[in-house]
Amino acid sequence: MKKSGEVIESFKEMALDWKVPDPTNRYCNPGVSEPVEIKYHQHCEPSNLCKIIWNLTECHGVVPPQPYYEACVASGCSEQRPSTECQSMQTYAALCGLHGVCVDWRKQAKGQCEPNCAQDQVYKPCGEAKRNTCFSREVITDTLPSKNSTPVFIEGCYCPDGKILLNDHDSICVSVCGCIAQDGSLKQPREAWEHNCQYCACDEATLNISCFPHPCDKSPLTNCTKKGFVRKIKPRLDDPCCTETVCECDIKTCIINKTACDLGFQPVVALSEDGCCPIFSCIPKGVCVSEGVEFKPGAIVPKSSCEDCVCTDEQDTATKTNRIQCVPVKCQTTCQQGFRYVEEEGQCCSQCQQVACVANFPSGNVTIEVGKNYKAPHDNCTHYTCTESAGHFSLTSTVKVCLPFEESNCVPGTVDVTSDGCCKTCIDLPHKCKRNVKEQYIIHNNCKSAAPVPVPFCEGTCSTYSVYSFEASEMEHKCICCHEKKSHKAKVELVCSEHKTVQFTYVHVDECGCVETKCPTRRT
């Protein structure tokens, strides 16, 4: 809809018809794009902001409120964000101002559409269309459409009373017109200042800035005679805007003779007395030097194998390096058991070499020489022998196995031990009843032991006789058998199949002897 109320289809044409003529606004761009499709919520409740239009009754006679109210409601009900209700209200108020009607609608908006003014400007709902600046302090011809010279009001940001805009493109309000300096500060008419080594002043008539260079005295001629010094132009300390020629050290102009220092020495740099060029010299580092290597004080210095050497803090007056102190090496001649210290020609310290075997017993260690036998104190059946082969020493043990011994088969009082003290021996009884052992597989119910089992048994003869008893008037018989005297039950595992085993119990004979038994009755 145009200002005249005519409804048209072109959004761009409608927008340009509502453009407010304002020659002071250089940012207004007539380029307007066609609108995009906007979706609206149905059954939308109008906001209180749009309803303010109906309170501005003083303008209803010159600007019909209905179209602008509908546009405001449509804006608030659209899905477009942010909403343009404030713009709709601002448009209606601007049209009222163009017709000379002042409306202060923002006061009724309760902070919803607060204006955004610069720090030194204030908002006025009904400001004048003309705006004076320091550069246009005459009245601007009103170009707004008004047939009867009706006053025009425009809301916006204005300078507070007693101040004026500095220019038409900066929102700066000043009490007195002046010039804007290079750093952005305001200068009063006829005020002078210095900037970048120039004297500047504010022209009272044109409010323009004029500058001229800072005057400087001519620098006297300077000759640099010392080595390493060259002439350089630098700002004066008392007047940085002016320059002076000074003599300054430039090491690049020096001819430097660097000296290579020997081991144990380090280069130092000093300045020449007649200039600034460096002079190199060598001073001692405070270290020891040996075989082309530097050593710090306290460090061990490798020397011959028969000396221990260390670097000291004491300086040698002849070489200017630190002295090296050496003492003879203390050799370790104590060897462990079975070893002997053997001196070697050409060696400062020799080593301990093994010469015997060492056997470990609970009572202590025993040294056994090569080829010698040794019997343990509490084990008469074990003998130890030391052998040597290609420098390797081996300790072997030999264990004597005794035959089974049954004291019950011995003549009492004849039990003794062999000459080496390992096995028992005795004189056998004449009846020869002995305990013997044989190894055999035990088979029971088709189950068999996995290995032969040692089974003891009694074997031999005892005294048996028959004699006539005159007292009993009959034959008296005495039967003595080779019989077990002590035994116990033992268990052995029998294998029946691949997945089945059973436990079998048998009698294990511990001791055999002649035992009297009842003789069987003989029938005649």
Condensed to tens digits (0 to 9), the pLDDT of residues 262-304 reads 999 998 888 877 788 888 889 999 999 998 999 999 999 988 7
Residue 72 Cα distances to 66, 76, 345, 409, 458, angstroms: 10, 6, 118, 136, 131
For 140-162, what is the mean pLDDT? 70
Give a yes or no: residue 505 inside a domain: yes
* Best CA proximity match to 190, nearest among 173, 175, 209, 174: 209
Q: Tell how far CA 63 is from the center of its chain.
A: 74
The C-alpha atoms of residue 163 and residue 173 are separated, in whole angstroms, by: 6
Give a yes or no: residue 46 inside a domain: yes
The C-alpha atoms of residue 114 and residue 96 are separated, in whole angstroms, by: 19
Of residues 261 and 477, more confidently modeled:
261
Least confident piece of the model among 62-66, 123-127, 375-379 = 375-379
At residue 493, does pLDDT exceed 50? yes
Computed over its alpha carbons, how large is the radius of gyration of the chain? 66
Give a yes or no: residue 6 inside a domain: no
Q: What is the pLDDT of residues 411-440, one digit of tens each?
A: 778 889 888 888 888 877 666 778 889 999
Give a yes or no: residue 232 inside a domain: no
User: Where does the pLDDT of residue 448 fall: very low under 50, low under 70, confident under 90, or very high at 90 and above?
Assistant: very high
User: Where does the pLDDT of residue 11 fall: very low under 50, low under 70, confident under 90, or very high at 90 and above?
Assistant: low
Least confident piece of the model among 403-407, 483-487, 492-496 = 403-407
Structural domain of residue 90, as residue ranges? 37-114
The DSSP output letter for 493 is E
pLDDT score at 62:
92
Give a yes or no: residue 135 inside a domain: no
* Best CA proximity match to 264, nearest among 238, 282, 246: 282
At residue 63, does pLDDT exceed 70? yes
The C-alpha atoms of residue 58 and residue 75 are separated, in whole angstroms, by: 24
The C-alpha atoms of residue 409 and residue 231 are separated, in whole angstroms, by: 131
Angle between helices 85-98 and 66-77 (to 10 degrees): 160
For tokens 């104590």, the residue is 334
Secondary structure E strands in 15-139? 122-128
The DSSP output letter for 227 is B
Contact (CB, 8 A) for 227 and 257: no
Give a yes or no: residue 3 inside a domain: no
Classified as helix, coil or strand, 279 is strand
Of residues 235 and 145, more confidently modeled:
235
The C-alpha atoms of residue 370 and residue 380 are separated, in whole angstroms, by: 21
pLDDT score at 43:
65
Please give the tally of structural domains in the chain. 3
pLDDT score at 257:
79
Give φ, ψ of 52 to 5 degrees: -60, -25
Give a yes or no: residue 440 inside a domain: yes
Q: Which of residues 81, 114, 147 is at a domain's end?
A: 114
- Both tokens of residue 371? 């080829």
Q: What is the pLDDT of residues 188-212, one digit of tens each?
A: 888 999 888 899 999 888 888 899 9
For 495-520, what is the mean pLDDT? 88
Q: Which of residues 299, 328, 357 is at a domain's end?
A: 328
pLDDT score at 471:
81
CATH (domain of 444): 2.10.90.10
- Both tokens of residue 333? 């001649």
The C-alpha atoms of residue 363 and residue 8 are separated, in whole angstroms, by: 126
Residue 25 Cα distances to 19, 170, 305, angstroms: 12, 11, 101
Give a yes or no: residue 247 inside a domain: no
Phi-psi region of 83 (alpha: psi -120 to 50; beta: other; left: phi over 0): beta
Contacts made by residues 211-217, CB under 8 angstroms, sequence distance 24+: 214/241, 214/242, 216/241, 216/242, 216/243, 217/242
Can you spell out the DSSP letters for 348-372?
SS-EEEE-EEEEEETTEEEEEEBT-
Record the pTM: 0.36
Q: What is the pLDDT of residues 342-385, one digit of tens each?
A: 887 777 888 889 899 998 888 888 998 998 888 887 888 888 99
Of residues 234 and 19, more confidently modeled:
234
pLDDT score at 506:
92
Q: Provide the percentage of residues in the chain whose pLDDT is more than 90.
A: 23
Of residues 151 and 464, more confidently modeled:
151
At residue 165, does pLDDT exceed 80? yes
Instruction: Report the chain's mean pLDDT, rounded to a whole number.
Output: 83
At residue 149, does pLDDT exceed 80? no
Q: What is the pLDDT of residues 312-336, one digit of tens each?
A: 999 999 999 999 999 888 888 889 9
At residue 103, does pLDDT exceed 70? yes
Q: What is the pLDDT of residues 210-241, one digit of tens each?
A: 999 988 888 788 888 888 889 898 888 888 88
Q: Tell how far CA 126 is from the center of its chain.
A: 67
pLDDT score at 146:
45
Least confident piece of the model among 95-104, 175-184, 465-474 = 465-474
Of residues 396 and 38, more confidently modeled:
396
For tokens 């009001």, the residue is 153
Q: Which of 70-79, 144-153, 284-293 has the highest mean pLDDT?
A: 284-293
Q: How many residues does the chain have?
A: 524
Q: Which of residues 328, 348, 374 is at a domain's end?
A: 328
User: Where does the pLDDT of residue 36 fall: very low under 50, low under 70, confident under 90, or very high at 90 and above?
Assistant: very low
pLDDT score at 508:
94
For 165-190, what is the mean pLDDT? 83
pLDDT score at 26:
46
Contact (CB, 8 A) for 93 and 103: yes
Q: Provide the percentage of residues in the chain whose pLDDT is more than 70.
A: 88
Residue 276 Cα distances to 221, 224, 317, angstroms: 21, 12, 33
Residue 136 Cα distances to 25, 161, 202, 439, angstroms: 14, 18, 17, 140
Least confident piece of the model among 19-28, 188-197, 435-444, 478-487 = 19-28
